[in-house]
Amino acid sequence: MKFKTLFFLFNFILLLSFAFIFLMPLPVLGWEYALSFWKQNWLIAVLFIVVLGGIDSYFFVQWPLYRRLEREDWSGLKDLLESQWKHKGRLSLGRTRIYLNSLLIEQKPNAIAAVRLRCLENRSKFLPKIALSLGLPLVLEGNADGIEEFFGPLVENKKAGGDLPWIRWSVGFGRLLKKDADGARPLLERGLTEKKNPLLRLLSLYLLENCGVGNPEVAARVEQERLRLKTQFTPKEWQSHHDGLKEKIILVLFMEKLIADARTWLAQPAKENPQ
């Protein structure tokens, strides 16, 4: 539904409700009681008008943003938010997320790198909450040193919320790229504890298989966990979970190939002697 339609429906419902409450005494109890009721409650009416006016004013101020979102005008959205950032020197958390998404859609990794640098320089208080988007180009490029440098200090930062397990996975991924299996393994093993996130468990297992080369104990655990995970979900349930995460975790949206490879690996028959 369009933002403009939602705006008019919102105003119509509120005004209709207000009119029903304030005009109800007139047909039910008569003109005299209605006047008395209105005199006693006029302040509520004024407060209602002020609040509604404030909400409508906010909508009109934000309309340039809503209009571009509605049209999926990512280039225009990027330019608008870039201009606001330069003018105000900062953006709210919500607008920063929208800005980063527009850069990702426009495939402008250099611009994301500039935002990442600016957030680090300004010590942005909401850096952990947008770190996954800021560091996504580093993961996609396979920039192991960049992943470690940016994500490393955040692996225990609870302000990252639901992104934190994915940040840990990203650092584990970066360490594997550097052939540091011992450094990657503890982080990837923590991904196995995410019982409500089977996709993260799968990707953690998929990378852990590399840590099991030459380590029979790790290889045996990976195989055991793989077979357990394999039987827990149907292909339809996997797809539903995958599709749901695309809207929540930006990393998932850009890792289709790796996820497909991991799904293929998961479906393999059991190994007799995992090594």
Provide the pLDDT for residue 61. 78
Q: Look at residue 94 in the predicted model and tell me its pLDDT.
A: 86
SS3 label, residue 107? coil
The pLDDT, as a whole number, for residue 81 is 87
Helix segments in the chain, DSSP class H: 3-23, 25-29, 31-71, 74-88, 93-105, 109-121, 127-141, 144-151, 164-177, 181-191, 198-211, 216-230, 235-246, 250-253, 256-266
Q: What does the alpha-carbon distance between residue 240 and residue 238 come to, in Å, rounded to a whole number?
A: 5
**Amino acid present at 75:** S
**What's the pLDDT score for residue 32?**
64
Calpha distance 227→270 (Å, rounded): 7
d(CA 231, CA 138) in angstroms, rounded, equals 33
The rounded distance, in Å, linking the Cα atoms of 98 and 187 is 29
Beta carbons of 123 and 87 less than 8 angstroms apart: no
The token pair at 177 is 């790229």
CA distance 160 to 153: 12
Distance in angstroms (rounded) separating the CA atoms of residues 184 and 173: 7
Give the integer Cα–Cα distance in Å for 245 and 69. 21
CA dist 240 and 246 (Å) reads 10
Both tokens of residue 156?
A: 């225990």
Q: Could you read off the pLDDT tens digit of each residue along the chain, which spans 275 residues?
A: 576 777 778 777 877 776 666 666 555 555 566 666 667 766 767 777 787 788 878 777 778 887 887 777 878 888 888 888 888 877 888 888 888 888 888 888 888 998 898 888 888 888 999 999 999 999 999 999 999 999 999 999 999 999 999 999 999 999 999 999 999 999 999 999 988 899 999 999 999 988 866 678 888 888 999 999 988 888 888 888 888 888 788 888 888 899 999 999 998 887 765 55
- For residue 28, the model assigns a pLDDT of 58
Contact yes or no for 157/164 (Cβ under 8 A): yes
CA proximity to 203, closest of 217, 183, 222: 222
pLDDT of residue 186: 93
Report CA dihedral (47, 49, 54, 60) to the nearest 10 degrees. Answer: 170
CA angle 241, 196, 202 (to 5 degrees): 65
Q: What is the pLDDT of residue 4?
A: 72
Question: Which residues have C-beta within 8 Å of that of residue 45, sequence separation ≥ 6?
Answer: 18, 22, 38
pTM equals 0.78
